[in-house]
Chains A and B, each alone.
Chain A
Amino acid sequence: MQALEVVSLQKSFGRRRKRAPAPAIALAGVSFEVARGECVAVLGQNGSGKSTLIRALSTLVLPDSGTARVFGHDVVREDREVRRLVNRVSVEASFFKRMSATENLSYSARFYGLTPAQTRTAIPEILDRVGFPATRAVEPMQQLSRGMQQKVALARSMLTSPVLLLLDEPTTGLDPRSKREVQEFISGMRERHDTTILLCTHDMAEAQSLAERVGILHAGRMLALAPAAELLERFGAEDLEAAFFTATGAELQDDPEETTR
């Protein structure tokens, strides 16, 4: 059984009124598979459909057609089972800003059945593992830097022991040191926990260093998905940036007209 099986997934957004503009197509029949324990990176511009893909796999968006299965469970029909297996880290750390790291992590952990007695030991342990100083665990989140907040976000995702981790640009906007620390933690996590990872990113180096295979998502279509070396060979490119340009005709950092969905 594959960790993730996505078949012809389609999603468009837009009003269904006569004079409304044509619906924006976020996913135009995306298909791919991810094996258990594998890390797959998906490269795409803003508006390419990366976030919609992550949100559909998180059971937050209902696809128009096609299927997605997480360890055999359909994300629409068996959404509760899928939610037990999945967690995510997104570009925005997203916490109750006045609450502390410990309080935010407790809140999240309860949803997955962790009791106060369990989180009293588990939270300091996981914060220590992501390199978060224990002395700051009781400070309101709004007093922490972006890098610190993102470490707490990683801790939140790992606290629930997900078997599939969805990472949506987890290092965007971080300073180089925080970025490296987050990437090291992600690598270490795979080695320790056999977690399957789907990483959506803008960062070519990050994709190349963390993932076994790299996908190119453009205008809602998965144009290619293969090991980085194979992509370079297929597109006759020296690096992933050139491969992306050859595959899509666009720079990865370009902002197309459509907004991120």
Chain B
Amino acid sequence: MMRIQLIGLWGIVERNVYLVRRYFWWELAFFVWTVANTLTITFIAKGVQATGGHLDVQRTTTALLIGAVIWSYLGIIFEVLTETVAWERWEGTIEYTFMAPLARAVHLGGMGLFAVLYGVVRTMLLFAVVAMFFGLTLQQADYMTAIVLLAVASVSFVGLGMVTAVLPLISPEKGAQLGFIAQGLLLVYYPVSVMPQWMQWLATISPATYALRGIRAAILDGASISAVSGDIWPLLVLGVVSIPLGLVVFRAGERYAKRHGKLKRSG
């Protein structure tokens, strides 16, 4: 039984690889768009200096770059997971996929696995391409710590992605947009301390807060894994909570959709 589920999980990853291949030129166009978008943010530091501001341009540029890259990574995770429903509905395959004997946890797990693999590749490419524009020297960076933080944070991101994945099932028209709003609440560009009090509270339950703080410390200051343990353990807790939460919410959404006849191609 487990073997069948694992083959199904591989089937989800495999299908997404097929789609990336079949939509290669779109992939390329979106990557270029993401590079341009990231550049507009990372040039802010140089822009501030050029207009008379005083700041450590290299450090600020790197901090902004990390924020933009993590934002892009989050975007990929949320987008891929939201497509669990949205893309299948658009193609008309949703009924066939949801009537297959695949456990929903495996189905969503396959989407999450692909999202992380695809997101890591895209994010590394993005970081490398944008870093070239600024000639950033990151000799002190501890990349291993950054990767560990990203890996641990990914569990929470996938769990939250599962929650947003259900939105297009409940509301075909507005679901995807609500997913983007949820992503927007994960605060990536500024220190949490500059936000209003209610947003600071929100930030304490956002995995992005800990991932960004830890990754910035690792890249900018060369912080080791033990030095960022204060950011790793909240990520572990959030990961343990968010995956079951995501599954419970998705299953509840699926039941709602089945009760109200929304689990179909036209919504």
Contacts and interface: CB of A to CB of B under 8 A. Distances in A.
Contacts of A115: 7
Nearest to B17: A103
Interface in A175-212: none
A223 interface: no
A180 B15 CA distance: 32
B204 to A, nearest CB: 37
B19 interface: yes
Contact of B264 (A26, A55, A98): A55
Contacts of B12: 110
A13 interface: yes
A125 interface: no
Given A107-B18, A140-B22, A80 B8 contact: no
Contacts of B101: 80, 83-84, 111-112
Interface in B173-209: none
Interface in B230-267: 255, 258-261, 263-265
A99 B91 CA distance: 11
A86 B99 contact: yes
Contacts of A46: none
B100 A94 contact: no
Contact of A96 (B7, B19, B100): B19
Interface stretch (A2-10, A30-38, A59-67, A226-234): A59-67
B47 interface: no
A140 B93 CA distance: 15
A248 to B, nearest CB: 24
Contacts of A140: 22
Nearest to B8: A111
B3 A59 contact: no
B91 A58 contact: no
Given A98-B22, A107-B14, A112 B100 contact: yes
B95 A111 contact: no
Interface string A39-67: 00000000000001001001111100000
A239 interface: no
B7 A114 contact: yes
Interface in B72-103: 91-93, 95-103
A60 B99 contact: yes
A146 interface: no
Contacts of B4: 112-113
Among B11, B255, B260, B265: residue with most chain A CB under 10 A: B11
Contacts of A112: 4, 100-101
Given A94-B95, A95-B93, A111-B100, A62 B255 contact: yes
Interface residues on B, range: 20 to 34
B255 A99 contact: no
Given A83-B101, A92-B265, A110 B95 contact: no
A171 interface: no
B19 A110 contact: no
Contacts of B19: 96, 98-99
A86 B99 CA distance: 9
A106 interface: yes
Contact of A108 (B10, B96, B98, B255): B96
Given A60-B263, A111-B102, A55 B18 contact: no
B128 to A, nearest CB: 29
B11 A110 contact: yes
B91 A97 contact: yes
A52 B12 CA distance: 27
Contact of B258 (A62, A88, A106, A111): A62
Contact of B92 (A61, A86, A92, A106): A92
Contact of B99 (A59, A103, A261): A59
Interface in A103-125: 103, 106-115
A83 B99 contact: yes
Contacts of A95: 91-93
A245 B43 CA distance: 73
Given A84-B101, A111-B11, A55 B95 contact: yes
B29 to A, nearest CB: 15
B99 A94 contact: no
Nearest to B95: A60
Nearest to A92: B92
Contacts of B18: 96, 99, 103, 107
29 contacts: A26-B261, A55-B261, A59-B258, A60-B258, A61-B263, A62-B259, A83-B99, A83-B100, A83-B101, A88-B96, A88-B99, A92-B92, A94-B96, A94-B265, A95-B91, A96-B18, A96-B91, A99-B19, A103-B15, A106-B15, A109-B11, A110-B7, A110-B12, A110-B14, A112-B100, A113-B3, A113-B7, A114-B7, A261-B261
Interface of B: 3-4, 7-8, 10-12, 14-15, 18-19, 22-23, 91-93, 95-103, 255, 258-261, 263-265
